[in-house]
Amino acid sequence: MEEQKPDVEYNVVFVTPRMASEWLTAAKGRPQRAINPTAVARYAADMRDGRWSFEGNPIRFDTDGILCDGQHRLTAIVMVQIGQWMAVLSNVKREAFSSIDGGQQRTLADILTIEDTRNAAILAAIAGRVVIFESGPITRGNVRQTRYRWSRGKMAEYVKSVEDEVSGVISFAREAGKLLGMEQRVAGALFVLIRRKDKESADEFISHVLLGANLNEGHPALTLRNWLSRNKSENSSSKVITDIYAFVTAWNAYRRGMPLKTIRIPAGVTIADENGKYVPVPELV
């Protein structure tokens, strides 16, 4: 039996800050998702920077004319006080609310692939780790972070801006994964960051770690290589953070011209204190 065509109305509207505020106020008390401040901040940053563009995904109003989807976008408009063109879908039945946002969203790698970017998946993964590692101290609590403070559009712009830089370490990252068991995106991000410190020294250090040839006992790169090799097969939730801690420890010793015979990971790196805090990884020198 053929279902009746939905009695909905679709329009493209320039939504002013005043309109957004009125719609949000009218929706108070109705079932809504909790506001995600990070999502609002991403939208607001794109609007403020002129990066927001019309993409046809509507904000939705129910049969009573009350907002039932779009509060994050509207909140961002109110925050930056900049109006935006938006699609508006009216007269949506409340029971349809459960299926909103049920589709598969495009990932950052999807966007880059559509733009014909080579090695899109690993490029996005490494660049994403660089952003996270640079945003503050690296701890077990944030090393697995998957949501960026930036929108996918801004992240795509960033990835394109560092494409040459990241592409230069992809083969090294893959080798680090295959030979030493490091997570490729993590190894790649660390390689990018130390190359920014001193490209010549970084390339020499990376080569030493991957090849391990003609190095004396106490050489930081050899000590790191041996440490990673011993822990290659470890399958624990703390392996990523201990690999990072070991890498930074060895690099810092190398940069300072100091020998390094052993790598010790403080207990607080993997076990939180009574306040739920972890010992952070030292800063790269």
Give the pLDDT confidence score for residue 201 in this predicted structure. 97
pTM above 0.75, yes or no: no
Give the pLDDT confidence score for residue 114 in this predicted structure. 60
Query: Is the per-residue pLDDT at 97 higher than 70?
Result: no
Do 140 and 264 have their domain in common? Answer: yes
Give the pLDDT confidence score for residue 103 in this predicted structure. 43
Domain of 58, CATH number, reads: 3.90.1530
Q: In the predicted model, what is the mean pLDDT of the chain?
A: 87
183-206 mean pLDDT: 97
Q: Tokens 């190359």 belong to which residue?
A: 195
140-154 mean pLDDT: 73
In a domain, 202, yes or no: yes
* Range among 6-15, 34-43, 169-178 rated most confident: 169-178
Query: Is the per-residue pLDDT at 231 higher than 90?
Result: yes
In a domain, 281, yes or no: no
In a domain, 122, yes or no: yes
90-97 mean pLDDT: 71
Give the pLDDT confidence score for residue 31 in this predicted structure. 65
Do 83 and 119 have their domain in common? Answer: no
Question: Looking at 91, 124, 157, which one is the last position of a domain?
Answer: 91
pLDDT band at 102 (very low <50, low <70, confident <90, very high): very low
Q: Please report how many Cα atoms fall inside a 13 Å half-sphere around the Cα of residue 145, on the Cβ side.
A: 21
Do 86 and 147 have their domain in common? Answer: no
Do 146 and 255 have their domain in common? Answer: yes
> Could you give the CA distance from residue 29 to residue 145 in angstroms, rounded to a whole number?
32
In a domain, 127, yes or no: yes
Give the pLDDT confidence score for residue 236 in this predicted structure. 86
Please state, for a pLDDT cut of 90, what percent of the chain lies above it.
58
Give the pLDDT confidence score for residue 279 in this predicted structure. 95
Do 153 and 253 have their domain in common? Answer: yes
161-189 mean pLDDT: 95
Query: Is the per-residue pLDDT at 148 higher than 70?
Result: no
In a domain, 279, yes or no: no
> Could you give the CA distance from residue 169 to residue 173 in angstroms, rounded to a whole number?
6
Do 33 and 122 have their domain in common? Answer: no
Query: Is the per-residue pLDDT at 105 higher than 60?
Result: no
Do 75 and 197 have their domain in common? Answer: no
Question: Looking at 56, 91, 126, which one is the last position of a domain?
Answer: 91
Do 255 and 167 have their domain in common? Answer: yes
Do 261 and 142 have their domain in common? Answer: yes
Question: Looking at 63, 91, 119, which one is the last position of a domain?
Answer: 91
pLDDT per position as a tens digit, 39-59:
888 889 889 988 888 878 899
The boundaries of the domain holding residue 67 are 9-91
Do 211 and 118 have their domain in common? Answer: yes
220-238 mean pLDDT: 93
Do 118 and 258 have their domain in common? Answer: yes
CB 229 within 8 A of CB 209: no
Do 197 and 144 have their domain in common? Answer: yes
In a domain, 97, yes or no: no
Query: Is the per-residue pLDDT at 258 higher than 80?
Result: yes
In a domain, 4, yes or no: no
| Tally of structural domains, the chain | 2
User: Greatest CA span in the chain, whole angstroms?
Assistant: 79
pLDDT per position as a tens digit, 54-89:
878 899 898 889 998 899 999 999 999 999 999 999
Q: Which candidate, 152, 132, 131, 155, places its Cα nearest to that of 144?
A: 132
Hey, what amino acid is at 80? V
> Could you give the CA distance from residue 280 to residue 152 in angstroms, rounded to a whole number?
27
In a domain, 275, yes or no: no
